[in-house]
Amino acid sequence: MARSDQRSLNIVAALGLAVGAVFGLAGTLIESALLRQLFWTIDGVGLVIAASLLTVRHLRQNDDLIAGGFLVFGVGQGVIVSGNAAGLEGSLPSYAGGVALWSAALLITSIPRRFPMWTRIAGVLAAVLFATVAARIVLGEQLLPISKPLPFFAYPILIVTFAGWISVLLKEADDLPAGDGSRAG
């Protein structure tokens, strides 16, 4: 992959994570059900794009464990997005499945020492919280995606994890030349 293509991939993946963080949090805080569903759909698409690009990126770098983690995260996010139109109560089955996959993905991406320690700690903490949410829903609790304290207070920790991933992507993008768009051969 040309260095300018790698730089573009890093930037687009970082933007996808940022869109996911902003619209995900906004959807959690907004009162309007229709806007919430719209914001969470935008959030989900951004995160699926980011996770897909990060999977490709880490496969090319032979970081198979991290690539697998991002693949699982993207699948989990896709499962969550599939339930958005059903509203809060109707989305519970897909939400439970999606956050269970998020939990596994966050653990997998936090094991290797690829990301800063603070990012890995946030990832593990978010994984534990989302595993708890998934288990409680599977065991019959009507735990909505906006319920407090969980999962509501797990989202900021997930966003801290995203911030760590974004910081690595942008630092590496800064270290690569912007290029002229031509491919190296």
Question: What are the tokens at 67?
Answer: 């690539």
Q: What per-residue confidence (pLDDT) applies to 182? A: 43
Q: Note whether 74 and 61 are within 8 A (CB).
A: no
- Range list of H helices, 30-154: 33-60, 64-83, 87-90, 92-110, 117-138
User: What digits encode the pLDDT tens for the residues 11-42?
Assistant: 999 999 999 999 999 999 999 999 999 999 99
Q: What per-residue confidence (pLDDT) applies to 179? A: 56
Position 177 pLDDT exceeds 70:
no
Share of residues in the chain with pLDDT > 70 (%) = 94
Q: What per-residue confidence (pLDDT) applies to 93? A: 96
What is the average pLDDT value for the chain, to the nearest integer? 94
Question: What are the tokens at 92?
Answer: 């519970």
CA distance 145 to 77: 13
Position 96 pLDDT exceeds 60:
yes
User: What digits encode the pLDDT tens for the residues 46-66?
Assistant: 999 999 999 999 999 999 999
